[in-house]
Every structure is written in structure tokens, then in C-alpha cells.
């Protein structure tokens, strides 16, 4: 059975695929980097970390540290839940608006 958080991740993944945004979902634990965001994306040349949560769930201290490291390194970071997903979709649409209008979308 899908968890509320996995439903948010599925919606984010669908949105990224729809807009042909490059993404990876890092594996944490073992050889992975614990606390890494759920999605690492390249949005118009900008490094972006996306952490998905359900409802009012909060990030762990390790996730917060990773988000700060991304921001300090010049990247962007977004915490996405069911309420903020439409705002993130608008950001994606706005970012690619000129591409859509010029039919330069690859």
C-alpha cells in the first residue's frame, strides 16, 4: 500500500517527466549519502534538491543540514508536500514558458 509520502513522490516524478526535467533519486544508506534529498534535478542549468513530505511532516536534522549545504553551494532547495505541489508545478511551467512558446522543447 502506498504511503502518503510515496504518493507525493509519485506526483513529483510525474511532473518532472511531463516537463522533461532531468532528475535522479539518490539511494541512501549503504554507499549512499544519508540525508540526501528525494530528488536531485537540473532545472535550466540550476542544481535543485527536492525533499518530499506528507502533510506537516518535517525534515530530519540530517536532511536540514543537506538542504543548507545545497543552498550554501549556490543550489536551490524545495520542501514539497501535497499543499506546495501546485506551487512547484507553476514554478516548473514558468521556468519552461519561453521554451514552450518558442517550440524549442527537446
Question: pTM here?
Answer: 0.86
- Which CATH number does 4-102 carry? 3.40.1350.10
pLDDT for the residue numbered 100: 56
Rounded to whole angstroms, the Cα distance separating 39 from 26 reads 7
Q: Which of 40-44, 91-95, 101-105 has the lowest mean pLDDT?
A: 101-105
pLDDT for the residue numbered 58: 95
Asked if the model's pLDDT at residue 6 lies above 80, the reply is yes
Its sign, for the CA torsion 58, 47, 40, 62, is: negative
Give domain limits for the chain.
4-102
Asked if the model's pLDDT at residue 80 lies above 80, the reply is yes
Amino acid at each position: 500500500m502506498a504511503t502518503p509520502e510515496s504518493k507525493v513522490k509519485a506526483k513529483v516524478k510525474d511532473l518532472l517527466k511531463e516537463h522533461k526535467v532531468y532528475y535522479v533519486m539518490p539511494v541512501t544508506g549503504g554507499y549512499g549519502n544519508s540525508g540526501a534529498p528525494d530528488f536531485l534535478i537540473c532545472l535550466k542549468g540550476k542544481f535543485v534538491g527536492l525533499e518530499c513530505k506528507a502533510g506537516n511532516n518535517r525534515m530530519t536534522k540530517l536532511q536540514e543540514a543537506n538542504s543548507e549545504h545545497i543552498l550554501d553551494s549556490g543550489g536551490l532547495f524545495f520542501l514539497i508536500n501535497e499543499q506546495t505541489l501546485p506551487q512547484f508545478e507553476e514554478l516548473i511551467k514558468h521556468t519552461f514558458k519561453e521554451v514552450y512558446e518558442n517550440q524549442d522543447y527537446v
